[in-house]
Chains A and B, each alone.
Chain A
Amino acid sequence: MRERIAAVFARVFREMAEGEPPQLTEETVLLNTGLDSLGFAVLIARLEEEVGFDPFAASAEAYYPRTFGDLADFYERNRPR
């Protein structure tokens, strides 16, 4: 799951941000990577295409993952069984 998210992140980054996508670690702060909120929005949309579900729709609270680790956990936690 983490690899797939990182791969989609890299693709979206190349499309929507400047320069090469950074190497993602668990602590990488997403909005400091150079991807803005629109880019992040597109990332979520493309992730839905890639993994087949949207954890934001599934989860009850308004949650905005801060780091790459948070994001990956969020997808793992809300993966439909």
Chain B
Amino acid sequence: MLASLLERFEGDRIAVAGSIQDVRFRDLANAGRSGIRARILGRSVAVMARDPLRALECLICADGSASRLLLLSPTLDLKTARDLVNRVGCDIALVGAPAPTGGLGAIPHITIPDYEQEPSNIEGAARAERVETRWLLTTSGTTGAPKVVDHSLDSLTCSVNAGSSTGAGVRWGLLYDLARFAGLQVVLQSVLSGAVLLVPPQESPLGEQIDFLGSRGCTHLSATPTLWRKILMLGGERLVALRQITLGGEIADSQVLRALKSAFPQARVTHIFASTEAGYGFSVSDGEQGFPSSFLTRPPSGVELKVLNGRLCVRNRRVSPCYVGEDWKLADEDGFIDTGDMVLKRGNRFVFLGRSNGAISVGGDKVLPEVVEQVILAHPDVLMARVFGTKNPIVGALVSADVVLKPAVGDLPGVRAALIRFCQERLPRHQVPAILRIVEDLPNLESGKLARS
């Protein structure tokens, strides 16, 4: 269980460095206080905390004692959070101080307070009864209500390199929400390898978060391609110590990979394929987009892959094949989950085309926004792009694009015309943006992914 895994590291070693306080491994290990563990033993626990450090303490407390632990993102509105608590049938809540107003439902709440007020109780934690805890994560629910996916610490850490020497000198930056799969991967990788987890001030804009990470010597950072493009725009040079760059959550195109290699020549650049439903899939560090077709026959991480109807399907035997609280199965009868991501074979590689449910129908022809985005992104003046469908009375929908240019690119009408020509040379007619606007910025969601609706 988490608490005992943390005991492998010297107590004095810093585990988490935040903007207000630093926390050592001994303090984290002690978060598993025997009094709280006894109260949640065998129960279905809802966990919610705004502060990642408090959230981590809740997880350390719950893992090994709760039968199920439901991780709720602090960004969820309370009604959705309460619906999820009901759906899962949680009978107790562990919340980080300050507790959410009105609570998570008519269940007892335990508030995890500051370290300073609680005495340590190491022997208590060691003697407490241990339970195999199921970790329940929620999808971000871009279409409809969030779904709940059943994991274990095992399925969440299969990609984690947990040797006690791997963490030496490593400082992981957290830009993700800890309650979501990507954020949890970063946190678990950091604490289970004895590294330092850097937690920037939560409500601050990205620039200040990067300043914080840079000033604390961040060496490892994971973010979406959209966030990485923004970091490059803000000037990544503050991240002087960066040596591991990880991308996930969206297609990592050649442009962003090259731009990162160029801005951070000393860093290894890796892009990861994973989802809440499928868990960790695979990672690619050869600097190219997509993945080698050999992954289909010799999957590097043991998570099996296949391509059906142009869509990537994943079999991760550690993840439960149903959504919790629903009868609808996630996987087919062989245990493969359809990720909904369209892929195309090019030579000895597969490239990602985009989400099949995001397709635009132009007079009946399907267009994947990400395909058009990748073409636009290939233009040297372009920093970011968002492609979407706009309603049209003649053909149903047309392709539109909002584009952010690199700084110091002038002659906007000229650039617009040049971009359209650039697309015409590379795309079938119906995929060329009918409307192309130059915009100042493209907002992203809490998850770091480009906001598409």
Q: Which residues of A contact B420 (CB under 8 A)?
A: 15
Contact residues, A25-62 vs B (CB, 8 A): 37-38, 40-42, 44-46, 49, 54, 56-57, 62
Q: Which residues of B contact A46 (CB under 8 A)?
A: 434-435
Give chain B nearest CB distance to A5 CB in angstroms. 15
Q: Which residues of A contact B392 (CB under 8 A)?
A: 41, 44-45
**A16 to B395, Cβ gap below 8 A?**
no
**A49 to B435, Cβ gap below 8 A?**
yes
Please tell me if B429 contacts chain A, counting CB pairs below 8 Å. yes
**A45 to B363, Cβ gap below 8 A?**
no
Q: Which residues of B contact A42 (CB under 8 A)?
A: 398, 434
Give chain A nearest CB distance to B289 CB in angstroms. 29
Please give me the residue from chain A that is nearest to B417 by CB atom: A15
CA distance A54 to B398 in the complex (A): 14
Q: Which residues of A contact B424 (CB under 8 A)?
A: 15
**A56 to B393, Cβ gap below 8 A?**
yes
CA distance A20 to B220 in the complex (A): 56
- Given A45-B435, A49-B435: A38 in contact with B395 (beta carbons within 8 A): yes
**B393 to A57, Cβ gap below 8 A?**
yes
Contact residues, B384-434 vs A (CB, 8 A): 390, 392-395, 398, 420, 424, 429-430, 434
Q: Which residues of B contact A49 (CB under 8 A)?
A: 435
CA distance A15 to B424 in the complex (A): 9
- Given A15-B420, A37-B363, A38-B363: A45 in contact with B398 (beta carbons within 8 A): yes
**A37 to B394, Cβ gap below 8 A?**
yes
- Given A15-B420, A38-B362, A49-B435: A44 in contact with B394 (beta carbons within 8 A): yes
- Given A15-B420, A49-B435: A41 in contact with B398 (beta carbons within 8 A): yes
**Which residues in B have some Cβ–Cβ distance to A below 8 Å?**
362-363, 390, 392-395, 398, 420, 424, 429-430, 434-435
**Which residues in A have some Cβ–Cβ distance to B below 8 Å?**
15-16, 37-38, 40-42, 44-46, 49, 54, 56-57, 62, 64
Sample of 14 more A-B contacts, CB < 8 Å, known A38-B429, A41-B394, A46-B435: A37-B394, A37-B395, A38-B362, A38-B395, A38-B430, A40-B394, A41-B392, A42-B434, A44-B393, A45-B390, A45-B434, A45-B435, A46-B434, A56-B393
Q: Which 4 A-B pairs have the closest CB atoms?
A: A56-B393, A41-B394, A41-B395, A42-B434
Show 16 A/B contacts (Cβ-Cβ < 8 Å), sorted by A.
A37-B363, A37-B394, A37-B395, A38-B363, A38-B395, A38-B429, A41-B363, A41-B392, A41-B394, A41-B398, A41-B434, A42-B434, A49-B435, A54-B393, A56-B393, A64-B394
